Each structure stands twice: as C-alpha cells, then as structure tokens.
Homo-oligomer: A and B are copies of this chain.
Amino acid sequence: MTESEHVTVATRELEAFVKNVLQCSGLTEEDARISAEVLLYADRRCIESHGVARLERYVTELKTGGILPRAEMQIVHETPVSLVIDGGGGMGQPIAYRTMQRCIEKARTTMICLASIRNSNHYGIAGYYTLMALSAEMIGISMTNSAPLVVPTNARDAIIGTNPISLGVPAGQQQPFLLDMATSTVPRGKLEVKARHHQSMPDSWATDEEGLPSTDAERVLDNLKNRRGGGLLPLGGGTEETGGHKGFGLGVAVEILCGVLSSGAVATEVYGRQQQPSGVAHFLGAINPAAFVGLEEIRQNMDRFLGMLKASPKATGQTRIFVAGEKEYDCQDCTRVKLPLERKVFETLNRVGEPFGLRLAEL
C-alpha cells in the first residue's frame, strides 16, 4: 500500500456514515448532524487533517469520558455584545456552532458579538465558524486553544497550543478573504510526513528535548509522545532573530481570548487530566458590516484590494499570488458529489463503524 493510494466515496454517504457513527456513540441526532457537517466541510476544502480522518479519535473520547456526549451548554454571562459559554465538556463542533449562530443573531441588531467559550473540546477547522458568519454576510472571527504542542521562545517544553486564528471578510466578485492559520510554523501532521519519509525538516519547525531547533522529525515526535521536552515552534521559528517571539505572542493572545476571558483552561491545563473533558476553549465573533462602512462598500473595497494583490508582479519562478482561503475555494469547487479518501482513512472509518453495524462503500 503506497501513501498516495486513495479510494473514492460519495460525499452524501460519507456524511451520513459519520453522523450515524457519532449518534451511535451517544450524541443527539442534531449534535451528530452538526459535527458531521463540520468534519465533511474540512474534507470538501481539502483540509483532510481536520476532517473525517479524526472520527476515530472523537469516538474514542466519547467512550472514555474525554467528550461528554450529552453535556449541556450554559450561558455563564451575557451582554448585548458578548457571551461567556460553558460547554460542559461536550462535543466541540455543536458547542461552537450554536455559539456562532447566537453571535450572528445578536450581531444583526447589536452590530458586534464576541463569545469566549470554556469546557469545550476539539472543534474541527477554525474556518468553519468564520464561514458561518460569511454565509450571513458578516465578518467572522474564530480561534481555539488546543493540546500543548508549541514551545515558547527560550523554553524547553511544549506549553501552549497550536492555537489557530481565523478571520473571514466578505468580498464581491472575488472569493471572500478566509484566513485560517495555526500560530505554530507547521502542524504536527507535517512532521509526521517528514518522519514517514525519513526526511529532515527545516529548523524553524520544531525543537528537540533540550529546546534547541532540530531537523529530526522522528526524534521530535518521539519526544512529544513520551513528554521528554521539545515540540513545535511558533510561527517565525526558534529565535527572536527570525521572529519566533511574535508567533509565540500570537499563540498567547489566542490562549487569553479563549481561556482567560472565559475562566477556562489554558496552556498545559488543556488535556491536562486523563479521561476527563479536555477543557479546550474557543473565541468566536460576528461583526455586522453595518458597524463600519456597510456591506456594499466593504465588498467593493475588498474586490479592489484583493485584485491589486493578485495582479501584482510575481517573483521569478512563480505564477500566482494566493490570498488566504483561495486554495481551499479552488479545491471546494471540484469535489461536490464525490470525495477522495486515503485508503488508510477509509479502512479506519469502517473499523470504527463496525461495532455499530455501519459500513461505508467504496465507489
């Protein structure tokens, strides 16, 4: 079996399969539907690392108490323009989905709503929730903390999460701007690819057990697994000379907006206890364009600006300048009815479905 071997499945069937597995794992039908939709959306946008490939992990956590399938979300604090939500240790996707929905509703009349959410779990791709705001013709914000995988500048151990930042802004003729970026240089998945191919990695990706930049992906992954120190580097790499302290600062900012403003878990507190909810925290927001110059002007300004960027002369050897989100929009257009899955992922899905008598067919 080669790494690149793929099978093709029907998108609709895959979505139903994922939903059924999650429902059999204890989620309500509605929560299972939302979770499946968020996971499928990642695959549709070619962000396979955050799509159905994660189903096994969710099912395991639903079984072992990492995710509480029937948790109740609570509004801890509310003002006309803000929310503090306690997710009760439930599934991340429905918690974030319902919070964003409420932010959008509130922003229709109050112009802005920002929400800080504690006691949630992994919520899939950050960009899904900004896309919800874009669908409502609003500006969207989405951030989350995560398991501690990133080493602060000058530190030895992984202390903060990969902490993605997502911002979505509507455009007119152009595709909307959709930033969705981890604040580490790369996600762990990129190290796994290097390790599988026994290739060395750039020294701005990760550090070894002494906290020094390393090019040995297998060693770093092994250290992380056995908590021997080291981990992923913040955007900018391992030194202040290359701006690593800036990526670290952004990662800390995300921890604050998610975990501090909600009195939730931060840094090593996230996934800090075995077989208990992870405490992952999020920050979501919707901004009504009417708070500023209004939707139509914003659309026109975006088209002019994004057009300028894309028409600008290319570096030698390059043919295209990509604006955040563009690659994923390109991908999304061509994969509506069928989806390619790595054979390994396909087989794992069927293994996960088997106890529930659920089976996914190859096309």
Contacts and interface: CB of A to CB of B under 8 A. Distances in A.
A152 B321 contact: yes
A79 interface: yes
Given A80-B111, A292-B84, A321 B212 contact: no
A165 B257 CA distance: 15
A131 B245 CA distance: 20
A102 interface: no
Nearest to A184: B243
Contacts of A315: 151, 154-156, 207, 210-212
A237 interface: yes
Interface stretch (A23-31, A62-70, A217-225, A297-305): A297-305
A323 interface: yes
B305 A179 contact: no
A302 B186 contact: no
Given A242-B204, A262-B293, A305 B256 contact: yes
Interface of A: 76-77, 79-82, 84, 110-112, 114, 116, 151-157, 159-160, 165, 167, 169, 177, 179, 181-182, 185-186, 202, 204, 207, 210-212, 229, 235-237, 241-243, 245-250, 252-253, 255-256, 259-263, 266-268, 287, 290-293, 297-298, 301-302, 304-305, 308-309, 312-318, 320-324
13 contacts: A114-B291, A151-B315, A155-B309, A155-B314, A156-B312, A165-B250, A169-B256, A179-B250, A211-B313, A211-B316, A263-B293, A263-B297, A266-B301
